[in-house]
Amino acid sequence: MSRFPSLSNLGAGCGRTAAVALVLVLAGCSSESSSHAKPPGPKPPNHLVELASVSRELLQYTADREGTLRALREVKVYNQEEGSVLEVRVREGDAVAKDQVLARLDDRLLRAELDKAIATLRQAEVDLERLERLYGRRLVAEEAVTRAQTNLEVARASERVLRTRVSYMTITAPFAGRVAARLVEPGDVAPKHTHLLTVVDPSVLVTDVQVSELVLPRLRRGDRAGVRIDALGLDVYRGEVLRIYPTVDPVTRRGRIEVALKPVPPGARPGQFCRVTLYAAGREHLVIPYAALRRDAKGEHVFLYEPANGAPGGHVKRVDVRSGLRLAERVEIREGLAPGQKVVARGFIGLSDGQKVQPVSSEPGTPSSEPGTPTPAEAKAADA
């Protein structure tokens, strides 16, 4: 056997020696670099956020609807007796007073019958008076007097009927207003119950609007409303809820209300298109800024701020909530929060549950006092 190592063993030993030397060199360099490394810098600051208070506020619900103006009182004038039209004294647009004569029908035949009835009545009065004198002298039976009394009552009733029928031949205005339609002319023959004229009262204009069953409980008679009439420009006129109908359409789930213009502005007319803003009675709600409400796959939530004991800043905690009505920049919270708590309103980028934060503002702005629209959940049902 040879006393000298083989070439392969010698190469392997040389490789191991070189590797050990390289490790020692790198270790020396690392030790030298660590001896010259800079000390660690200050800790990064806490996450900056803006906070808002959870509070109870009186919020007023609003809803925008479209409608058409109409006169509260509009009467179609019909005749109750047939006859030829002698005259029509008014035309469309004319102002009329209550009980003013609008038209006259030919009443000569009825007046002749009335004269006959009057003569019959006088004869019945004379007959009864004569029989009562005779009965006082026991010359006639009581039955004759009773029959004469009955004839007198019948004659009086006939006279009243004919006077009433004659009065129907003169057409008068049922109330003060304006003539909206004239449908007959002198010389026309008007059968019974012919539509002769239409009279409207333009002093009270209303519009019918449809509202969701969710909105109806918030409305009361006398609640104010804003009415904008497109034909009159951008001005908003004062209105109020005049009537709330007691039923709801079972198909659309909508109810009907009347909104009256008070007062009626110059230029407003029945038939004009209008836009109505309803203001429901305000109620207290637990609210936060709408920007503080977050949504993800797990549902609605907020980041609740919890201050640190004896140290600046604090940390945030994710809290699941259930929202309700949204009005402008405020949203109702129905579950999950209590008055006086603080929630994060700005600074959500990179924010997570349990993270340390540093508040930079207690309130991120003043909420708008103007009412807005419902949340998507309520809007779906209310169809605002």
Buried b (16+ CB within 10 A) or exposed e, 113-124: ebeebeebbeeb
pTM: 0.60
Asked whether residue 310 falls in the same domain as residue 246, the answer is no
Residue 83 within a domain: no
Residue 17 within a domain: no
Q: Are the C-beta atoms of residues 334 and 279 closer than 8 Å to each other? A: no
Residue 195 within a domain: no
CA–CA gap between residue 236 and residue 218 (Å, rounded) = 22
CATH of the domain at 338: 2.40.420.20
Number of domains in the chain: 3
Q: Which one is predicted more confidently, 285 or 104?
A: 104
Asked whether residue 253 falls in the same domain as residue 315, the answer is no
CATH of the domain at 157: 1.10.287
Contacts of 347 (CB under 8 A, 6+ apart): 47, 48, 49, 50, 357, 360
Segment holding 257, helix H or strand E: strand 254-261
**What range defines the domain where residue 267 resides?**
64-71+202-279
Residue 258 within a domain: yes
Asked whether residue 270 falls in the same domain as residue 289, the answer is no
Residue 115 within a domain: yes
Residue 364 within a domain: yes
Asked whether residue 378 falls in the same domain as residue 291, the answer is yes
Asked whether residue 266 falls in the same domain as residue 330, the answer is no
Between 38-47, 205-214, 359-368, 375-384, the lowest mean confidence (pLDDT) is in 375-384
> Model confidence at 3, in pLDDT bands (50, 70, 90)?
very low
Tokens 């701020």 -> residue: 305
Asked whether residue 289 falls in the same domain as residue 361, the answer is yes
pLDDT tens digits along 35-89: 455 555 555 667 899 999 999 987 777 788 999 999 999 999 999 999 999 999 9
Q: Of 161, 166, 173, 175, which Cα lies nearest the Cα of 204?
A: 175
pLDDT tens digits along 178-193: 999 999 999 999 999 9
> Which one of 240, 257, 279 terminates a domain?
279
Predicted pLDDT at 99: 95
Contacts of 381 (CB under 8 A, 6+ apart): 212, 214, 253
